[in-house]
């Protein structure tokens, strides 16, 4: 009887009050509230939630690991492994979710799972509001072009107005795919870009950046001057 009275009081609260209460809930309790009713699901999904850190790791033979850090305090961290991708994808259904650092890691033998993750995120029909993206996926050596196009498809899932930094640990980026990448709005809006050990030929895709880390196969004096002038 007591539970019924509590539920009745919650349902009678104005949405303004409910939003204020939800703003104090962590991710675990927000997900629990989403299961209560369609109205609660809609309300939770429209209340802003900011995560300090979210990491998805495909680590054979441990399955899929998920790390979530809601605050900058490292002691407050949620960690789970052997999760289903469909369960992880539910996080991205929160339309007002914002993420400071999003890290995705996988080995070359797990690279195909990235396709599944992309499909699940696409179904949510939400652009991911992420500030810093770290792509730490080891592509299969046999097909660099395909691996690069997978990254481009993944990058297009992100909100262009939120993304400020792109870090990609791919070893090589074929010239044709780099040109395609440079035409995406997400790439053009990012002020910081790092390709780690990847070697590229063209300087043009990086002229818009304010902070760039990339290895060029060949860099002439005029290229350096062009970058300085671009800044």
In a domain, 21, yes or no: no
Q: What percent of the chain has pLDDT above 70?
A: 85
**Cis amide bond preceding 61, omega within 30:** yes
pTM over 0.95: no
Is pLDDT above 90 for 152? yes
Residue 10 lies inside a defined structural domain of this protein? no
Q: How far is CA 199 from the centre of its chain?
A: 24
- Tally of domains within the chain: 1
The reply to whether 13 falls in a domain is no
Domain for residue 30, yes or no?
no
Helix %, strand %, coil % of the chain (to 5): 40, 25, 30
The band of 161, judged by pLDDT with boundaries at 50, 70 and 90, is very high
Question: Is residue 121 in a domain?
Answer: yes
Non-local (6+) Cβ contacts of 171 within 8 A are 139, 197, 198
The answer to the question of residue 34 being in a domain is no
DSSP labels for 185-220? HHHHH-SEEEEEEEEES-SGGGTT-SEEEEEES---
Q: Do the beta carbons of residue 184 and residue 156 sit within 8 Å?
A: yes
CATH code of residue 144: 3.80.10
């Amino acid at each position: 009887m007591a539970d019924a009275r509590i539920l009745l009081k919650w349902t009678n609260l104005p949405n303004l009050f409910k939003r204020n209460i939800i703003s104090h809930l962590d991710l675990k309790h927000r997900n629990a509230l989403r299961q209560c009713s369609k109205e609660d699901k809609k309300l939770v999904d429209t209340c802003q939630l900011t995560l300090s850190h979210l990491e998805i790791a495909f680590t054979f033979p441990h399955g899929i690991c998920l790390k979530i850090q809601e605050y900058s305090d490292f002691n407050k961290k949620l960690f789970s492994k052997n999760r289903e991708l469909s369960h992880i994808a539910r996080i991205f259904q929160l339309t007002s979710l914002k993420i400071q650092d999003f890290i995705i890691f996988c080995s070359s033998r797990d690279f195909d799972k990235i396709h599944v993750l992309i499909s699940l995120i696409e179904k949510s029909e939400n652009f991911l509001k992420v500030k810093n993206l770290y792509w730490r996926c080891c592509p299969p050596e046999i097909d660099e072009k395909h691996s690069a196009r997978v990254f481009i498809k993944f990058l297009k899932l992100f909100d262009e107005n939120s993304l400020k930094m792109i870090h990609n640990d791919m070893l090589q980026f074929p010239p044709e795919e780099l040109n395609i990448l440079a035409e995406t709005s997400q790439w053009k809006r990012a002020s910081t870009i790092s390709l780690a050990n990847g070697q590229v030929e063209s300087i043009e895709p990086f002229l818009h950046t304010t902070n760039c880390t990339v290895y060029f196969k060949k860099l002439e004096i005029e290229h350096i001057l062009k970058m300085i002038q671009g800044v």
